[in-house]
Amino acid sequence: MRSASQPMSTVPVQYALSALRSAPLAALLILFVGACGGASAQKPPSLSGWLSADSAKQTAVLTLRAGEGSIPGYGFNGYSRGQALVEIPTGWRILVRCKNVASSVRHSCAIVDNSVSTVPAFPGAATPDPLVGLAPGRSASFSFVASRAGVFRIACLVDDHEAGEGMWDVLQVGGTRRPAVLLLRRRP
């Protein structure tokens, strides 16, 4: 399994060098101290907890913590708005474990074709009642075979969570020999 996350620089090198040449020491200290505690210095959530796989059995377990995102209360495993990509080989069986970790909002987990679809892209590829969602603290699992290649959305189908709040990430079936999770873009 591979994962990608690039370190985020809090102070661009050119800016820091120009500050050394022109700023008094106090201003330079404020610049670096402010960068150390700011939101941009936060380490992005790990991608390692998303996926486990058994190549011999051609099965993967996708663990989703719904309600944990870069927008508080909306996202999967700390990511939203298509930041994370899960790659699965065609023909593999996927077990999805979905837990609503939000404190007061219902969430669901589903694999859909696009942002307007409320129907699972594969038979069985959603939590029960995905339009209603799971109550806070509740969990559900579902399993499906990734029988056709394509790019799909991992989405919450409750209310306006996917389109309005950005509660979606990406599932690509095919084009890979091993399951993986990749970071497509950094958190805002």
Q: Is pLDDT above 70 for 14?
A: no
What domains are there in the chain, each with its CATH number?
A: 1-43 (no CATH), 51-183 (2.60.40.420)
The better pLDDT of the pair 24, 175 is held by 175
The mean pLDDT value for 52-68 works out to 97
How high does pLDDT run on average in the chain?
81
What band does 76 get if pLDDT is binned at 50, 70 and 90? very high
Query: Structure pTM?
Result: 0.76
* C-alpha dihedral sign at 177, 178, 179, 181: negative
- Asked if 152 contacts 111 with a C-beta cutoff of 8 angstroms, the reply is yes
Confidence (pLDDT) at 31: 33
**pLDDT at residue 45, as a whole number:** 78
Give the residue from 71, 58, 50, 73 showing the smallest Cα distance to 3.
Answer: 50
Give the containing element (helix H, strand E) for 66. Answer: strand 59-71
Rounded Cα distance, 85 and 171, in Å? 6
